[in-house]
Amino acid sequence: MAVYSSQPRLARYVNLLLELLIVAAIVTGLTSWAIGDRWSGWLVLAHAVIGLSMLLLAPAKMRGSVAAGFRRGRATRWVSAVFGVLVLVTVTLGVLHATGLWFGVGPWTALWTHSLFGFLLIPLFVWHAVARPVRPRAADVDRRAVLQTGVVAGAAAALYATQELLTAVTGPAGGERRGTGSREIGSHDPARMPAVIWFNDRRPDVTDAMSWSLSVGGTPITIESLWARARPVDATLDCTGGWWSEQAWDAVALSDLLTDVQGRSVRVASRTGYDRYFGLGDLGKLHLAVGYGGHPLRPSHGAPVRLIVPGRRGPWWVKWVTSVAPSDRPTWLQPPLPLT
Ligand SMILES: Nc1nc2c(c(=O)[nH]1)N[C@H]1C(S)=C(S)[C@@H](COP(=O)(O)O)O[C@H]1N2
Ligand SMILES: [Mo]
């Protein structure tokens, strides 16, 4: 492994910084995505600056260890190349999403594809970190390194500010952007609101809403009785695919239907098997919606009844709900992506 420690200082520095940036990008990306609205504005800002820093370092990386790696000609150089290209494509998709220059094709929105590639990057990153370890020397972490890092971060922040200013002025995307980075579509116009379903899920055939079977805390509840109790609740569905839409949902608070819950969480399950577990502290936010703007939900939007969770991202908004039940499962014991 002498080769690595004999790398020039600048190449070592670039490699180390890139590695830290990728970890930071994955962490900020995943958390901004998982937590909902509260801190996501700051996380999205950090995520953007991290991504742009990686772009700025790309030329130095190409001149340094990429060129050297190709000269060495190991068979696995192609895996490294795929990794590098995937990083560049992922960051580029992030920029396309943020600027609205390209929204994507159909369900393959720029942001969704960005996240998918982000997930694919994780194993490649781990492989790369093990197979091509960066061997920093104690002397590398000096004033010069701190200064260089400051310059890279400052340049990336300036680039981001310019990018945001240009998009605000020229507005290629249209649609107001939230702190989460998502853009507005079809608010108070459900016909224009997109419908999103995971690849492995399928919309159930609902022929008769009135015979839908829904049980809340073990008690059967009819759609009719939900309509009778429903009140308008303004809430914003913010899909991780990069769009948001506000509707006046006709909805009933779960806290009105479910009292005295015993257990560690509440499981909300779809007829399709898709489910999410919520902490008991979240119960006040959860609502069962049967319509929007006084009209019943469309089949693709979860008819006859779906969950709405103000302040949480789209994946939590379970559609075609058949059961709400207390559970002993802690909420952390669920996949970040609902796999049905
Ligand atoms: N049963 C089920 N519910 C689901 C999904 C799904 O695939 N299956 N997708 C979720 C995601 S990712 C989002 S963004 C919203 C989309 O709601 P919409 O189709 O009404 O826009 O539903 C959520 N609820
Ligand atoms: Mo979504």
Inter-residue contact 307 to 316 (CB < 8 Å): yes
Residues with Cβ within 8 Å of residue 225, at least 6 apart in sequence: none
For residue 124, report the phi and psi dihedrals to the nearest 5 degrees.
-65, -40
Q: How far is the CA of 196 from the centre of ligand 1 (A)?
A: 5
CA angle 296, 224, 189 (to 5 degrees): 15
Q: How far is the CA of 119 from the centre of ligand 1 (A)?
A: 20
Atom of ligand 1 minimally distant from the CA of 319:
3
Atom of ligand 1 minimally distant from the CA of 300:
19
Q: Name the one residue in this structure whose structure tokens are 């396309």.
A: 96
pLDDT band at 2 (very low <50, low <70, confident <90, very high): very low
pLDDT tens profile 27-74: 998 887 776 566 677 888 999 999 999 999 999 998 888 888 888 888
User: Percent of the chain at pLDDT above 70?
Assistant: 94
Q: How far is the CA of 207 from the centre of ligand 1 (A)?
A: 20
* Residue 201 near ligand 1, beta carbon < 6 Å: yes
* Distance between CA atoms of residues 321 and 275, nearest Å: 9
| Strand intervals (E) in 145-216 | 183-184, 214-216
Q: What is the pLDDT of residue 6?
A: 62
Task: Classify strands 214-216 and 321-327 as parallel, antiparallel or unpaired.
Answer: parallel
Mean pLDDT of 307-317: 93
For residue 335, report the phi and psi dihedrals to the nearest 5 degrees.
-65, 150
The ligand whose atoms approach the alpha carbon of 289 most closely is 1
Q: Name the one residue in this structure whose structure tokens are 């999205």.
A: 44
Q: What is the CATH number of domain 185-327?
A: 3.90.420.10
Q: What is the pLDDT of residue 38?
A: 63
Q: What is the pLDDT of residue 308?
A: 98
* Residue 196 near ligand 1, beta carbon < 6 Å: yes
Q: Which of 108, 275, 319 to mutate to test the pocket of ligand 1 (most atoms within 8 A of CB)?
A: 319
Q: How far is the CA of 94 from the centre of ligand 1 (A)?
A: 22
Query: How crowded is residue 295: how many other Cβ atoms within 10 Å of its Cβ?
Result: 11
Residue spans per domain, the chain:
2-176, 185-327
Query: How crowded is residue 174: how many other Cβ atoms within 10 Å of its Cβ?
Result: 10
pLDDT tens profile 75-134: 888 999 999 999 999 999 999 888 878 878 877 888 889 989 999 999 999 999 999 888
pLDDT band at 238 (very low <50, low <70, confident <90, very high): very high
Q: What is the DSSP letter of 177?
A: B
Comparing 185 with 171, the larger pLDDT belongs to: 185
The ligand whose atoms approach the alpha carbon of 315 most closely is 1
Distances (CA, A) of 182 to 227, 238, 309: 31, 7, 17
* Residue 265 near ligand 1, beta carbon < 6 Å: no
Atom 21 (ligand 1) nearest CA: 195
User: Percent of the chain at pLDDT above 90?
Assistant: 57
Inter-residue contact 321 to 214 (CB < 8 Å): yes
pLDDT band at 19 (very low <50, low <70, confident <90, very high): very high
The mean predicted confidence, pLDDT, of the chain is 88
Inter-residue contact 266 to 254 (CB < 8 Å): yes
pLDDT tens profile 262-295: 999 999 999 999 999 999 988 889 999 999 999 9
